[in-house]
Structure 1
Amino acid sequence: MRLYALCDRDALRSREVDLENFVEIVKKHNGEIIQYRNKHDDIAAIKNDLITLRALWDGFLIINDYYELIPFCDGVHIGQEDLYAIDTNPLRAITILKTVIGNDKIIGLSTHNLKEIEIANALDINYIGLGAYRATVTKSEAKVLGESLDELASHSKHPVGAIGGVNMDDIFKHVTYHVIGSGLLE
Structure 2
Amino acid sequence: MRLYALCDQEMLDKVGISVEKFIEIAKSYNAEIIQYRNKSADISLIKQQLIQIRKLYDGFLIVNDAYELIEFCDGVHVGQEDLHTIDLDTKKAVKILRNVIGKDKILGISTHNEAEVLEANEMDLNYIGLGAYRDTTTKKDVCHVLDDKLDAIAKLSKHYVGAIGGVNLNDKFDNVTYHVIGSGLLK
Normalization by structure 1: what TM-score?
0.97
Instruction: Report the counterpart of residue 88 of structure 1 in structure 2.
Output: 88
| 1:158 equivalenced with 2:159 (yes/no) | yes
Partner of 1:147: helix, strand, or coil?
Answer: helix
- Residues 14-23 or 119-128, more deviating: 14-23
The within-5 A match list for 1:1-186 is 1-142=1-142, 143-186=144-187
Aligned-residue Cα RMSD (Å) equals: 1.0
Structure 2 unaligned spans of 5+: none
**Contact 1:94-1:123 within 8 A present in 2 as well:** yes
Q: CA deviation at 1:165?
A: 0.3
Deviations 1:117-160 (A, max 9, x none): 00000001000000000001222331111011011101000010
Measure how far apart 1:180 and its partner are.
0.1
Tell me how far apart the structure 2 counterparts of residues 132 and 147 of structure 1 sit (CA, whole Å): 11
Aligned-residue offset at 1:95: 2.0
Return structure 1 stretches of 4+ with deviation > 4 angstroms: none
Aligned residues of 1:9 and 1:36 also touching (Cα < 8 A): yes
For residue 13 of structure 1, report the CA deviation from its aligned partner.
1.2
Asked if 1 retains the 8 angstrom alpha-carbon contact of 2:98 and 2:124, the reply is no
Q: Distance in 1 between matches of 2:44 and 2:7?
A: 17
Q: Alignment identity in percent?
A: 61
The residue identity in structure 2 corresponding to 1:153 is A
Measured after TM superposition, the shift of residue 84 of structure 1 is 2.6
Unaligned runs of 5+ in 1: none
Q: How many residues align?
A: 186
Q: Distance in 2 between matches of 1:141 and 1:87?
A: 21
Provide the C-alpha distance between the structure 2 equivalents of 1:86 and 1:178, rounded to a whole number of angstroms: 27
TM-score, reference length from structure 2: 0.96
1:23 CA displacement: 0.9
Deviation of 1:45 after TM superposition, in Å, equals: 0.9
Letter in 2 for 1:90: T
Q: What is the DSSP-based 3-state SS (H/G/I as helix, E as strand, rest coil) of the residue aligned with 2:137?
A: coil
SS of the aligned residue for 2:147 comes to coil
Describe the SS at the equivalent of 2:34. Answer: strand
Whether contact under 8 Å (1:90, 1:123) holds in the other structure is no
Contact 2:111 2:128 in 1 (8 A): yes
- Cα deviation digits, residues 5-39 of structure 1 (max 9, x gap): 00000111111111111111111101100000001
Kept after mapping to 1: 8 A contact 2:138/2:183? no
Letter in 2 for 1:26: A
Give, in whole Å, the separation in 1 of the partners of 2:14 and 2:126: 31
CA distances 1:44-86 after superposition (whole Å, capped 9, x unpaired)? 1111101100111100000000101111010000011222322
